Structure 1
Amino acid sequence: MSLTAFVTGATSGFGRAIAQRLVADGHRVIAAGRRADRLDALRAELGERLLPVVLDVTDADAVAALPGSLPDGWREVDVLVNNAGLALGLDPAPKADLAQWDRMVATNVTGLIHMTRALLPGMVERDRGHIVNLGSVAGSYPYPGGHVYGGTKAFVKQFSLNLKADLVGSFVRVTDVEPGLCGGTEFSNVRFSGDDDKAAAVYKGTEPLTSEDIAETVAWVVTLPRHVNINRVEMMPTCQASGPFAIKRQG
Structure 2
Amino acid sequence: MRTPTAVVTGASSGIGEATARRLASLGFHVLCVARRTERIEALAAEVGGTAVTCDITVEADVARLAEAVGGRLDVLVNNAGGAFGQEPVAEADLDAWSRMLELNVVGTGRVTKALLPALEAAEGVVVFVTSTAAETAYEGGAGYNAAKFGERAVAGALRLEIVDRPVRVCEVSPGMVETEEFSLTRFGGDTERASKVYAGVEEPLVADDVADCIAFVATRPAHVNIDRLVVRPRVQAANHKVHRTS
Q: TM-score, normalised by structure 2?
A: 0.92
* 3-state DSSP of counterpart to 2:238: coil
Q: Provide runs of 4+ in structure 1 moved above 6 Å.
A: none
- For the pair shown, the structure with the greater C-alpha radius of gyration is 1
User: Are 1:153 and 2:152 matched, yes or no?
Assistant: no
Q: Is the 8 A contact 2:105 2:154 kept in 1?
A: no
2:44 maps to: 43
In 2: Cα distance, 1:166 partner to 1:215 partner: 27
Q: Is the 8 A contact 1:127 1:170 kept in 2?
A: no
Q: Once superposed, what is the RMSD of the aligned Cα atoms?
A: 1.7
In 2: Cα distance, 1:39 partner to 1:24 partner: 17
User: Are 1:191 and 2:186 matched, yes or no?
Assistant: yes
Change (3 A) 1:66 1:184: closer
Match of 2:237 among 220, 241, 245: 241
Q: Is the 8 A contact 1:105 1:152 kept in 2?
A: yes
In 2: Cα distance, 1:241 partner to 1:210 partner: 17
1:127 Cα deviation after fit: 5.7
1:66 Cα deviation after fit: 2.9
Q: Is the 8 A contact 1:86 1:191 kept in 2?
A: yes
2:87 maps to: 91
In 2: Cα distance, 1:66 partner to 1:18 partner: 18
Q: Is the 8 A contact 1:64 1:114 kept in 2?
A: no
Structure 2: gaps spanning 5 or more residues: 242-246
1:187 Cα deviation after fit: 0.5
User: Are 1:167 and 2:162 matched, yes or no?
Assistant: yes
Q: Which amino acid aligns with 2:53?
A: V
Q: Which runs of structure 2 are paired with 1:101-250 in the superposition (5 Å)?
A: 101-124=97-120, 126=121, 128-206=123-201, 207-242=203-238
1:2 Cα deviation after fit: 4.4
In 1: Cα distance, 2:59 partner to 2:28 partner: 28
Q: Is the 8 A contact 1:185 1:211 kept in 2?
A: no
Of residues 172-181 and 38-47 in structure 1, the stretch that sits farther from structure 2 once superposed is 38-47
Q: Which runs of structure 2 are paired with 1:59-78 in the superposition (5 Å)?
A: 59-68=58-67, 70=68, 75-78=71-74
Count how many residue pairs are aligned between Structure 1 and Structure 2. Answer: 239
1:24 maps to: 25
In 1: Cα distance, 2:85 partner to 2:91 partner: 10
1:133 Cα deviation after fit: 0.5
* 3-state DSSP of counterpart to 2:237: coil
User: Are 1:79 and 2:75 matched, yes or no?
Assistant: yes
Q: Which amino acid aligns with 1:139?
A: A
In 2: Cα distance, 1:30 partner to 1:231 partner: 24
Q: Is the 8 A contact 2:205 2:233 kept in 1?
A: yes
Give deviations 1:17-53, integer Å, cap 9, x for gaps: 0001111111110001111110121123223xx1000
In 2: Cα distance, 1:89 partner to 1:191 partner: 5
* 3-state DSSP of counterpart to 2:11: coil
2:11 maps to: 10
Q: TM-score, normalised by structure 1?
A: 0.90
Structure 1 vs Structure 2: percent identity of aligned residues? Answer: 41
1:142 Cα deviation after fit: 1.1
1:3 Cα deviation after fit: 2.1
Q: Is the 8 A contact 1:178 1:233 kept in 2?
A: yes
Q: Which amino acid aligns with 1:161?
A: G
Give deviations 1:210-249, integer Å, cap 9, x for gaps: 110111011111111100000001111111122679xxxx
